[in-house]
Amino acid sequence: MPLSRAVATEGACSQDNTMISRLAHLPWFAGLPAELLTHIARHGTELSLADQQVLFLKDSPAQYLALVLSGQVYHLLHNQDGRELIIDRSQVGDWVGESALLEGHDRRDCTAVADGATRVWLLPRAQFGPLTGNSEFLRRMFASVCRRMRTHTEHVETLCLHQLGPRLARHLLRMVDEQPHAASVPGVWLHPPKQSVLASMVNVSRPKLNAQLRSWQRNGLIHHQPNILHILDVEKLRRIAYGECDM
């Protein structure tokens, strides 16, 4: 029996060290105390999600904080008819459900769904103490939430004040800007999400999205293939996004 306990302890330590190493290689955790990473690694649980699997539902109890280890998670709202609006996403190294930690909310303010095969690290509410007790961790978490709020504000502005063309153009430009040096080369190749997802991001039906993409292709702005979008004129796309050009 003592030998079994020793083997189990050794295995747990190895798993902790693996997770600590993974956390240390994520930019968000750079420079944080080793004991804080150890706490997250020791008291968290890894969860694997299939494509479109729900991490949590809107208004469900906020019982844990989640960190994306691979894949990505969409934040979405939906109505009783099943129509969805994607308002944000969390990628590798991003947190999901920060309000559970920062505000102590008992309920989720959106639904979180995996995009593709995704792995997340779950830290239960009972283990939040060392996180809220570290001022640098809290500063970074508040900074993350502020960036998310700016994204949401821009998203609301785009959806409420602009037509489909500028809305879609702005969304594609965000994808362009995420690619290093993308604007310095003629044309940009993108791998957009599925059209149903893209339609939910810009709050439009899939047929209307298809019609807009076909129109841009006929006018030489883009070349659209399954899973690939070649933007032939980034500057014209920018003019469309900011109302300087109609197409």
Which range, of 51-60, 111-120, 235-244, averages the lowest pLDDT? 235-244
Q: Cα separations (Å) of 231 from 17, 20, 63, 115, 158?
A: 44, 40, 43, 24, 20
At the top level of CATH, the class of 163-241 is: mainly alpha
How many Cβ atoms sit within 10 Å of the Cβ of residue 214? Answer: 12
pLDDT tens, position by position, 22-75:
999 999 999 999 999 999 999 999 999 999 999 999 999 999 999 999 999 999
Q: Is 221 helix (H, G, I), strand (E, B) or coil?
A: coil
Name the residue with tokens 């439009």: 204
**Residue 10, pLDDT score:** 45
User: What is the average pLDDT value for the chain, to the nearest integer?
Assistant: 87
Q: Out of 2.40.340.10, 3.40.50.2300, 3.40.980.10, 2.60.120.10, select the CATH number for domain 2-159.
A: 2.60.120.10
* pLDDT for 181 beyond 70: no
Exposure string for 115-129, b = 16+ CB within 10 A, e = fewer: beebebbbbeeebbe
Domain boundaries, the chain: 2-159, 163-241
- 2-159 and 163-241 agree in CATH topology: no
**CB-CB contact of 176 with 169 (8 Å):** no
Between 162 and 227, name the one with better pLDDT.
162
- Residue 26: closest CA among 100, 75, 91, 88: 91
pLDDT tens, position by position, 75-114:
999 887 778 899 999 999 999 999 888 876 688 989 999 9
Query: Token pair of 158, please?
Result: 């785009």
* pLDDT for 1 beyond 60: no
Give burial (CB, 10 Å; 0-12/13-18/19+) of 161: exposed
**Residue 14, pLDDT score:** 65
